[in-house]
């Protein structure tokens, strides 16, 4: 059936989703890539090739009917749609409605329409850090880690992971079996990464000084968006070809980004775009904690006349200062993953985008609705 497969990417207009769509459109075994997103950006259809057509459908992942309609005639679903919020600017009920309720809608549609393969895009935030700020240093997919997840966003991703794994092996309406697996992204950088654009603007406002919050010993993985997308493409194809190996599995994203120290990765990315950027000062935890509390008091005093967006939250601050890293080759062992882009290519591509984005009048997004 090669050349006749229909793939659906929910959240295909998001940061990671769009890159998945781009790479899927280059695979000659796929006839059509459908994009389902609450933001209808028809420009994703530009990825259509001579053999693969890309089509765009606008819809809300929270509406079962819209999800069911979009998934008619699909063979493989890559579910990347999520409400991404690290700063506490979105109510928990809304995060849950999109990230958990939306995932339930997709799984129900898979069963009703006998779609046998679902790949879910999760996050390292679904694992931790926990509220006790216990570090995890260079663990892997099998490393035990417990406790309540710190970030509200991470809590909803953990809930969604649970129902995706529980759905693996469910019977489809046709009598077949649903096969699911999960990819956990970490800190993803690259073109269109809103946090990098915002950080660059803040650094320029500080006369080129890149200040940072995490202690120098803190570790956290970073992965280029093109390699995250490529891992999705390979995993989705292998889920079809070797379902007994991939079904029910979880995979961390990784590539050859050279450092687990986040401030050093950010320094290399920003200084590649602007050589005047230099490493600034470490901001102590207590100082940032006090600034967050002061900002909360000001917001409360001025409500409802002025409602500035939170620039940081205590859960996010705790996450930033806690080591949470992994070391794995599971994706390479299970489905032959190798990074599509080297560190040098990833760095240069990101730097070129940053140079262009720095002159953009559009402010960076604090969270993305569907990604």
* pLDDT 10s digits, 340-354: 999 999 999 999 999
Q: Which pLDDT does position 271 carry in this prediction?
A: 95
Query: Could you give the count of Cα atoms lying within 13 Å of 313 in the half-sphere of its Cβ?
Result: 16
- Give 359's pLDDT tier (boundaries 50, 70, 90): low
pLDDT tops 80 at residue 42: no
pLDDT score at 52 = 94
Q: Does domain 5-193+222-257+326-345 fall into CATH 3.40.50.720?
A: yes
Longest Cα–Cα distance of the chain, Å, equals 63
Catalytic residue among 86, 120, 153, 189: 153
Cα 223 to Cα 220, 229, 252, 286, 341: the distances in Å are: 10, 10, 10, 29, 10
pLDDT band at 366 (very low <50, low <70, confident <90, very high): very low
Contact between 141 and 250 (Cβ < 8 Å): yes
Phi, psi at residue 353, to the nearest 5°? -65, -40
Average pLDDT over residues 225-245: 97
* pLDDT over 90 (residue 15): yes
Please, which pLDDT band fits residue 363 given cuts at 50, 70 and 90? very low
Tens digit of each residue's pLDDT (9 = 90 or more) over 329-341 = 999 999 999 999 9
Q: What average pLDDT does this structure show over 22-46?
A: 91
Range 85-113 burial, b when 16+ CB lie within 10 A, else e: bbbbebeeeebbbbbbbbbbbbbebbbeb
Contact 354, 273 (CB under 8 A): yes
Mean pLDDT (the chain, rounded): 91
Mean pLDDT value across residues 30-43: 90
Residues 6+ apart with CB under 8 A from 35: 8, 9, 12, 13, 17, 21, 44, 54, 55, 56, 57
CA distances from 263 to 137, 290, 311 (A): 17, 22, 18
pLDDT tens string 255-277: 999 988 999 999 999 999 999 99
Domain ranges of the chain: 5-193+222-257+326-345
Alpha carbon separation from 44 to 12, 18, 49, 123 (Å, rounded): 8, 7, 12, 24
Distance CA 68, CA 66 (A): 5
In terms of DSSP H, where are the helices of 179-284?
194-205, 225-241, 243-246, 262-273
Position 371 pLDDT exceeds 50? no
> What mean pLDDT do residues 99-117 have?
97
Could you tell me what percent of the chain has a pLDDT over 90?
Answer: 81
pLDDT band at 240 (very low <50, low <70, confident <90, very high): very high
Q: 47 an active-site residue?
A: no
Q: With 90 as the cut, is the pLDDT of residue 86 above it?
A: no
Q: What is the DSSP letter of 126?
A: G
Do 280 and 209 form a contact (C-beta atoms < 8 A)? yes
User: What is the model's pLDDT at position 234?
Assistant: 98
Helices (H), 51-126: 64-70, 92-96, 102-113
Predicted TM-score (pTM) of the model is: 0.93
Q: Look at residue 241 in the predicted model and tell me its pLDDT.
A: 96
């Amino acid at each position: 059936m090669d050349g006749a497969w229909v793939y659906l990417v929910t959240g295909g207009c998001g940061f990671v989703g769009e890159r998945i769509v781009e790479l899927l459109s280059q695979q000659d075994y796929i006839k059509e890539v459908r994009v389902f997103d609450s933001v209808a950006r028809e420009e994703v259809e530009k990825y259509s090739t001579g053999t693969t057509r890309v089509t765009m459908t606008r819809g809300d992942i929270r509406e079962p009917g819209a999800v069911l309609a979009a998934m008619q005639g699909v063979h493989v679903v890559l579910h990347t749609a999520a409400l991404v919020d690290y700063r506490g600017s979105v109510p928990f009920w809304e995060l849950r409605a999109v990230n958990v309720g939306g995932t339930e809608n997709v799984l129900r549609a898979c069963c009703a329409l006998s779609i046998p393969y679902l790949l879910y895009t999760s996050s390292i935030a679904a694992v931790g850090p926990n509220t006790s700020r216990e570090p995890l240093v260079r663990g892997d997919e099998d490393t035990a880690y417990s406790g309540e997840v710190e970030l509200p966003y991470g809590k909803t991703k953990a809930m969604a992971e649970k129902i995706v794994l529980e759905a693996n092996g469910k019977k489809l309406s046709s009598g077949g079996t649903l096969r699911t697996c999960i990819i956990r992204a970490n800190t993803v950088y690259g073109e269109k990464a809103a946090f990098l654009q915002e950080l660059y603007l803040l650094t320029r406002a500080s006369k080129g000084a890149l200040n940072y919050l995490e202690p120098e010993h803190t570790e956290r993985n970073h992965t280029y968006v093109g390699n995250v997308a490529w891992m999705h493409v390979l995993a989705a194809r292998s889920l079809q070809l070797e379902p007994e190996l991939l079904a029910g599995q979880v995979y961390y994203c990784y590539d050859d980004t050279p450092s687990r120290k986040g401030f050093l990765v950010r320094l290399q990315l920003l200084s590649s775009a602007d050589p005047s950027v230099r490493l600034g000062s470490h901001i102590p935890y207590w100082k940032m904690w006090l600034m967050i509390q002061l900002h909360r008091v000001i917001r409360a005093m001025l409500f409802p006349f002025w409602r500035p967006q939170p620039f940081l939250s205590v859960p996010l601050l705790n996450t930033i200062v806690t080591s949470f890293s992994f070391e794995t080759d599971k994706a390479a062992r299970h489905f032959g993953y190798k990074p599509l882009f080297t560190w040098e290519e990833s760095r240069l591509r990101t730097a070129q985008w940053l140079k262009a984005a720095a002159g953009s009048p559009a402010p960076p997004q604090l969270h993305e609705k569907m990604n």
